[in-house]
Amino acid sequence: MRILSGIQPTGLPHLGNYFGMMKPAIELQQKGEALYFIADLHALTTVRDPEALRRNSREIAIDFLACGLDPARACLFRQSDITCIPELSWILSTVTPMGLLERCHSYKDKLAKGLHASLGLFSYPVLMAADILAYDSDLVPVGKDQKQHLEVTRDIAVKINELYGDIFKLPEPMIRDESAAIPGTDGAKMSKSYGNTIELFMEDSPLKKKVMAIQTDSTPVESPKPLDGSPILGIYRHVASSSDYTAMEEAFRTGGTGYGDFKKRLLEGVRDYFAPMRAERQRIASDPGEVERILSNGAEKATAFATPVMDRLRKAIGLR
């Protein structure tokens, strides 16, 4: 089974990225051939600072490795290092109906958030299809908001197969568990676009500042605290042991503890959970050459997977 997943380098990874995408992806490396790419071509629709794009791409690679990605088991690479991807995206675009893309809700959502209505933003699902189809992917972990894009990928693959024969494998979605969603500091879903994130490897002082600034209600210290929608509990349940989490829930119910004390427990939980990964990250970051070697080797492996796919496609459509 070949598994494919990607992450955009639009900023430094946060707790929501880790528990929602990175941790599940790392666990999947035990279950098949895993390919994980840093989607720097996709990021061009929003990132205009070249140094930031390069820096973020490298930092995400380091974070993935620090969090447990094993380059001996999984293939980690930059999307832009696979030179056939733009070519494949163009070929797919020649058979993709405009109406199919016009129905994609992601484009409309991004316009509503104020993003520039570029061709790249509109054709994003076609580039995503190229990323998936290039490697004969079997399984693609996606969130509910990306499920439509995988359906578009399958529609495009079917169109190519109807026109030219059995070229592409049809990938299956693996819908991520939405219960893993992490609340941000304001209680909404943690997202860079909302400005409510807690980055994975923040220095201690800014980490403390972020945690202590988590929004809470005005319930008095002596009173029971509401459990539903609490960002403190929502984050703590991911970083604490089951017994520690149960103890915090009970303290919420009984009252007598202020939000400041709960935030201190949460801060300690985040520190302890990521302490081993932080140490590993410092080790990895001290050797930039090793990080680049891993990314280059990953690109070679990914290219080897993509080459037979592109060969049969080019031959079928008349380019070779």
Catalytic annotation, residues: 110, 189, 192
Question: What is the token pair recorded at 113?
Answer: 């958030």
Asked if 58 contacts 98 with a C-beta cutoff of 8 angstroms, the reply is no
**35, two tokens:** 């390919």
DSSP label of 187: S
Q: What is the DSSP string of 102-156?
A: HT-HHHHHHHHTT----HHHHTHHHHHHHHHHTTT-SEEEE-GGGHHHHHHHHHH
Closest to 40 in 3D by CA, of 63, 86, 17, 8: 8
Cα separation values, 14 from 19, 106, 125, 286, Å: 9, 22, 24, 21
SS3 7: strand
CA 210 to chain centre: 22
